[in-house]
Structure 1
Amino acid sequence: MSASARVIRSAEFQAERAWGALPVAELDGVTVRLHWTDSPYIWHVNDGEEVFVVLDGQVCMKVREQGVEQVHWLQPGDIFHAREGCEHVAHPQGVARVLVVEREGSV
């Protein structure tokens, strides 16, 4: 493969800890990272928009607006878009691999 291209086999990626990430690309202040996890994240609000693509596994994505919680079950191929200010948390059901696109330095 050339130095200007690469292939990432997402199904083979495993991090040393939950939500460990493999940087894929940085695009004008936006990061693309592959995450591996087997544990929930924490409730949080990003400082910008976030796109969350489930590559494998199943993820229960919870969203909280004005104290009301909604649950979205995400399967491989599903895309979750959190607008700026959206409080959310991801709970994988077993092992999951997720591609996350967000502002550089975002939580």
Structure 2
Amino acid sequence: MRVIRSAKFTADNAWGAMNIANMNGITTKLHWTDKPYKWHINEGEEVFVVLNGMVEMHFREADAEKSVMLQAGDIFYASEGAEHVAKPLGEARVLVIETDGSV
């Protein structure tokens, strides 16, 4: 048992993470960032939960780039094969649940 105070978590570099759990090959990580990630496709599905800050999530759907602004409490679900990139506006903390070894 442990309690994680996500609002106090920081990392030495953008997208630095604290591993919270690995349950049957599915990881849960707390990330801190202040810079965009990179366009990528995960190995499997991904759940992306904004805990604080704001993140503009860009994704490709039907050969078109789209985006949605995510605020604290918002959840983004990326299905298997969905290409996407997260771009925070300032500092953000996000909880990411995905297959172990995903990009």
**Would you call these one fold, judging by a TM-score over 0.5?**
yes
Which of 70, 81, 96 matches 1:100? 96
Which of 31, 34, 41 matches 2:37? 41
> Which of these two proteins has the greater Rg computed from alpha carbons?
1
- The superposition leaves residues 16-42 of structure 1 with CA deviations (integer Å, 9 ceiling, x where unpaired) of 000000000111100000000000000
CA offset at residue 66 of structure 1? 3.9
Give the secondary-structure state (helix, strand or coil) at the position aligned to 2:65. strand
Give the secondary-structure state (helix, strand or coil) at the position aligned to 2:95. strand
Partner Cα separation in structure 1 for residue 72 and residue 16 of structure 2: 19
CA offset at residue 47 of structure 1? 1.3
Partner Cα separation in structure 1 for residue 33 and residue 67 of structure 2: 19
Other-structure match for 1:61: 57
Q: Which TM-score applies when normalising by structure 1? A: 0.94
Partner Cα separation in structure 2 for residue 91 and residue 25 of structure 1: 25
Other-structure match for 2:20: 24
Give the secondary-structure state (helix, strand or coil) at the position aligned to 1:88. strand
Q: Which TM-score applies when normalising by structure 2? A: 0.98
Partner Cα separation in structure 1 for residue 40 and residue 99 of structure 2: 14
Letter in 2 for 1:46: N
Does structure 1 conserve the Cα–Cα contact (< 8 Å) formed by 2:45 and 2:78? yes
Give the secondary-structure state (helix, strand or coil) at the position aligned to 1:11. helix
Partner Cα separation in structure 1 for residue 29 and residue 91 of structure 2: 17
Identity %: 61
Aligned-pair Cα RMSD in Å: 0.6
Letter in 1 for 2:53: G
Which consecutive residues of structure 2, in runs of 5 or more, have no partner in the other structure?
A: none
Moved over 4 A (4+): none
